[in-house]
Amino acid sequence: MIIAIDGPAASGKGTLSRLVAEHFRLAWLDTGSLYRAVGLKMLRNGDDPADREAAEKAAKSLNPNELTNSELKTEVVGLAASKVAAIPEVRQALVGFQRSFAQTPPGGAQGAVLDGRDIGTVVCPDADFKVYVTASPEARAHRRFLELRDKGDTVTEQEVLAMTRERDARDTNRGESPLKTAEDAYLLDTTNLSIDAAFAALKVYISGSSN
């Protein structure tokens, strides 16, 4: 069983994907970590994340061990990830990794949950279940602001909102695998939903559809 969960930043798709994977005992891949790892590698090398050649090289040399670095969740790395994700060569270099994970899940799992921006539309268009998780830019920025504040970041909520809108525009307008809803995806708006309520809705959708 392959479950594709897409959506913009801070929509809740990462947490929901992990919960779904745990509940149905499936392998989980946060595909955003791949692009974040490439972005972080470039920042550490002093490269411009928009440099196509350097980004492709970083993507092709990505080591799975680089996906667990604590720096991946920082806002600066997130912005770098959004830039490298807009580069066709980077997406092509990483799509094979994602498809292999979905088709041959690690640990003997009977399926996989992948979350990202183009899982249901490009990476796994034949996924058994497709979900698009979204929320208003204001709600997503507020969630991200609280996360950053708890980590001691001094960024303001307005600054986070501006970065959220900038990233949305880049993700939806890029030429290669833009962020969009698959035609057959289950749309879940979490603007006014708690994680528990959103997770309950997903369990009903997946369990009901698989009966």
> What percent of the chain clears pLDDT 90, i.e. is strictly above it?
76
Cα 46 to Cα 3: distance, rounded to the nearest angstrom? 36
Q: What is the per-residue pLDDT for 209?
A: 60
pLDDT at 210 over 70: no
pLDDT, averaged across the chain: 93
Compute the radius of gyration of the chain from its Cα atoms.
16
Q: What is the per-residue pLDDT for 151?
A: 86
- Residue 75 phi, psi (nearest 5): -65, -40
State both tokens at 131: 């979900």
Q: What is the per-residue pLDDT for 153?
A: 86
In CATH, what class is 2-200?
alpha beta
Query: What's the pTM?
Result: 0.84
**Collapsed DSSP state (helix, strand, coil) of residue 38:** helix
| Rounded average pLDDT over 140-148 | 94
Contacts of 155 (CB under 8 A, 6+ apart): 75, 145, 148
- b/e per residue, 14-39, with b = 16+ CB within 10 A? bebbebbbeebebbbbbbbbbbbbbb
> What percent of the chain clears pLDDT 70, i.e. is strictly above it?
99
> Where does the pLDDT of residue 211 fall: very low under 50, low under 70, confident under 90, or very high at 90 and above?
very low
Element (H, E) at 61: none
Largest CA distance in the chain: 52
pLDDT in tens, 15-67: 999 999 999 999 999 998 999 999 999 999 999 999 999 999 999 998 888 98
Domain coordinates of the chain in residue numbers?
Answer: 2-200
